[in-house]
Copies of this chain bind each other. A is one copy, B any other.
Amino acid sequence: SVNPDLASERQTASFSVEKLTAWLDGGVEHTRIRRAVVEAIESDPVFSRENQYFQSQNERYEAAVRKAVHLQKKMHELGWTENGPEYKYIYRALAGDVAFLLHRIFMRSILMLGSDKQVAKWIPLATQYQLIGSYAQTELGHGTYLQGLETTAVFDITTQEFILNTPKISAMKWWPGDMGRSATHTVVFAQLYVHGKCYGVHPFIVQIRSLQDHSLCPGITAGDIGPKMNFEHADNGFLMLQNVRVPRENMLNKFCEVQPDGTYVRWGSQKINYFTMTTVRISIISDEVIAPVMKACTIAIRYSVVRRQSKLKPGEQEAKILDYQTQQEKLLPQLAAAYAFHFINDYLQELFNRAYREMQRKNFETLPELHAFSSGFKALITQYCTSAVEICLRACGGHGYSLLSGLPSLYTKILASCIYEGENTVLLLQTARFLIKCFMAASAGQSVPPSVTYLAAVKPGKCPAKNKLDFLNPDIYTEAYQHMAARLIRSTAAKLQDLIQSGVKKHDAWNQCTVQLAQAAKAHCHYITVKNFAETVEKLKTQAGIQQIMKHLCDLFALHGIFSNAGVFLHDGYISGAQMDMVTASYLDLLPVIRKDAVPLVDAFDFTDKSLNSALGSYDGQVYQRLYEWAQKSPTNQQMSPAYERYLKPLLHNKLSKL
């Protein structure tokens, strides 16, 4: 039975939830396939996550390996393949906690960086799991700055081998997933030396554990790096190499090669080495960032119509907390953001597919734009969504803080996305570098990618809005964002030039502008997100009910951004104080409008109770029963603690002085 406070929310939906779900999925057929995958996974007890919040790091790891192995069997049975339509839904359905994700990245690096011969040798072995792969790039002392990696690979011409070494502690590989306990092989990134000359970082396939008994290979020290904020299931590992020899053929050599005589040959851009990271950066956004924020919204919004607290009107019963403006203002902008980023993800996928096709033809021209955008959006989206999940958690008060709400684990996991695959500040500065370059080029009349032509085209001016309703016009707010982003980039470019012209060295000048550069890069991505949301709504013309509510969400996303970053819009007077009051009024007016559809809007994400794994977020809203039943299953309630006999009893039964 559904909690009546929740049931009533579904009766007044202004649109068809089922149609919205299908549209989000990209069509009813996709919805059907997704649900079939979810059903197959969730009906299988091996994939259950019911005890997850009670498990230790060791138990989580074991369950993850078991699931990964079982998944192979299951896929075989059900005829699911890596290229089939089901594949992309599997991971979402498993909701994390599965091993061998790095095995996929291991394979992807070989496919991307390996010669045809290497692909032919390693990919079948990996596909058949006759080895388990990992990806050893990050070191204890070196993360984002790949050129600084210290692991060495020296070519020994006499044996035709590379000798790999970890010359000091900071060079120890640290963090690679699946490496602490599972992997038999890994791709090690190391500085290549031939005849004493360093050729920079290159990837080498290295076996680290015996295929017979899984013992560490000679010269290898490896293990688990210990507890983290989340990812208990993943055996993130460390790896030290002492004179480990691999044959010449183990350097991935699609784009460069060390020939038997030690001659070094290169065919492509060295930047291609980093391309695996770019692909990972984009591929994580949907599963690791947007899905969690959708889940957090589902949990927090359902809970907020079940939880009642204090009285809005004297004499009435306590009010649903979602009826408070402050609660709406916490949650609804996050809901709007979840939609905004779902749409920008499509945009990024398209950008990526285009670039990938070009790259297959060895055309690397689009790489800088792809790199800049994937970096900037990765930073913007992960940061925004991490904060969104935290807001959802805090909006649920004490119950949000219980692991059983599902929110803490969503938060601690999404937080990592701000750090891995490129630390966000570093990424934003890479985007900024691209934007400044484009701004300079465009200002000098040179051609730049269409996405950034606006940088040199925007002129000073004032926002034309006359009343609060004008701010519900996408042209008005999109232009405000465009103006603001262009101004930030322009003014930072000017500061940079001023500093250089006043004699400050280029690198110092750059450093002195980085706070503002990062802000400008974020502003650009924020602008594109708003613009893309507005265009998506525009294209939706035929589906009236859905278009209406999407328009409201788009408005909310845009106005929330102006309200929360008022300074950058007010700064040059483009928006006046009086206009900012209109923005605020329109923004606050939207909250009760969207609040009416809040539950249908999260229902449309179509998460099952099992995938939410939350006592607060279930479809039926039986929050208190579920919390109580679940808490009783906690191992802490399974028997009396030995602490009673050992400590409490002596304390209570003796006078303190006798203890």
Interface residues of A (CB under 8 A from B): 53-54, 56-58, 61-62, 65-66, 68-69, 72-73, 76, 128-132, 138, 140-145, 148, 169-170, 172, 174-175, 180-182, 184, 211, 214, 223-229, 235, 238, 307-314, 318, 323-327, 329-330, 390, 394, 397-398, 400-404, 408, 412, 415-416, 418-420, 423-426, 429, 505, 507-508, 511-516, 518, 565-573, 577, 580, 584, 588, 624-625, 627-628, 630-637, 640-644, 646-652, 655-657, 659
Contact B214 A640 (CB under 8 A): yes
Query: What is the CA–CA distance of A184 and B398 in the complex, to the nearest angstrom?
Result: 24
Chain B residues with CB below 8 A from A627, complex form? 140, 174, 225
Question: Of the candidates B61, B314, B568, B636, which one forms a contact with A641 in the assembled complex, judged by CB atoms under 8 Å apart?
Answer: B61
With a cutoff of 8 Å between Cβ atoms, the chain B residues found around residue A655 in the complex are 128
Q: Are A649 and B214 in contact (CB under 8 A)?
A: yes
User: Given contacts A76-B656, A394-B418, A648-B214, is CB(A402)–CB(B226) below 8 Å?
Assistant: yes
* Contact of A641 with B129 at beta-carbon distance under 8 Å, contacts A235-B636, A515-B325, A571-B580 already known: no
- Taking the nearest CB of chain B, how far is it from the CB of A498, in angstroms? 12
What CA separation (Å) do A420 and B313 show in the bound complex?
A: 26
B310, B584, B588, B642: which contacts A62 (Cβ < 8 A)? B642
A58 and B329 within 8 A (CB): no
Q: How far is the CA of A132 from the CA of B309 in the complex (A)?
A: 31
**B141 x A624 contact (CB < 8 A):** yes
Once the chains bind, are B310 and A65 in contact (CB under 8 Å)? no
Cβ–Cβ < 8 Å partners of A514 in chain B: 324-326
CA of A505 to CA of B316, assembled, Å: 14
Q: Check if B227 sits within 8 Å of A634, measured CB to CB.
A: yes
Asked if B415 contacts A401 (CB within 8 A), the reply is: yes
Contact call B511/A625, Cβ cutoff below 8 A = no
Q: Of B226, B235, B631, B652, which contacts A404 at CB under 8 A? A: B226
Q: Which residues of B contact A329 (CB under 8 A)?
A: 515
In the complex with contacts A57-B635, A312-B507, A397-B423, A577-B588 CB distance below 8 A: no
Complex contacts, A172 vs chain B, CB 8 Å = 624, 628
Contacts of A238 in B (CB 8 A): 628, 631
- 17 more contacts with CB within 8 A, not counting A181-B636, A226-B403, are A57-B636, A58-B636, A140-B624, A180-B636, A223-B631, A224-B631, A225-B634, A226-B636, A226-B637, A228-B402, A238-B631, A394-B415, A400-B419, A401-B415, A401-B419, A516-B584, A570-B571
| Chain B residue with the shortest CB-CB distance to A314 | B507
CA distance A554 to B307 in the complex (A): 42
Task: Report the minimal beta-carbon distance from A387 to chain B, rounded to whole angstroms.
Answer: 9
Whether A61 contacts B180 in the complex (CB less than 8 A), given A631-B226, A652-B131, comes out as no
CB-defined contacts of A659 to chain B, threshold 8 Å: 69, 72-73
Task: Give every chain B residue within 8 A of A394 (Cβ-Cβ).
Answer: 415, 418-419, 424
CA distance A644 to B235 in the complex (A): 13
Report yes or no: A65 in contact with B325, Cβ–Cβ below 8 A: no
Contact (A404, B65) CB under 8 Å given A310-B148, A624-B140 = no
Q: Is the CB of A625 within 8 A of B309?
A: no
Given contacts A169-B624, A659-B72, contact A634 B226 (CB under 8 A): yes
Q: Which residue of B lies closest to A330 (CB)?
A: B425
| Max chain B Cβ within 10 angstroms of own Cβ: one of A128, A211, A643, A646 | A643
B647 touches A69 (CB 8 A): yes
Chain B residues within 8 Å of A69, by CB = 647-648, 650-651, 659
A225 touches B631 (CB 8 A): yes
A54 partner, pick from B143, B227, B429, beta carbons under 8 A: B227
Supposing A226-B403, A325-B515, A401-B419 touch, asked if A309 and B143 sit within 8 A by C-beta, the answer is: yes
Q: Are A403 and B227 in contact (CB under 8 A)?
A: yes
Most chain B C-beta atoms within 10 Å of own C-beta, residue among A53, A140, A323, A567: A567
Residues of B within 8 A of A647 (CB): 62, 65-66, 68-69
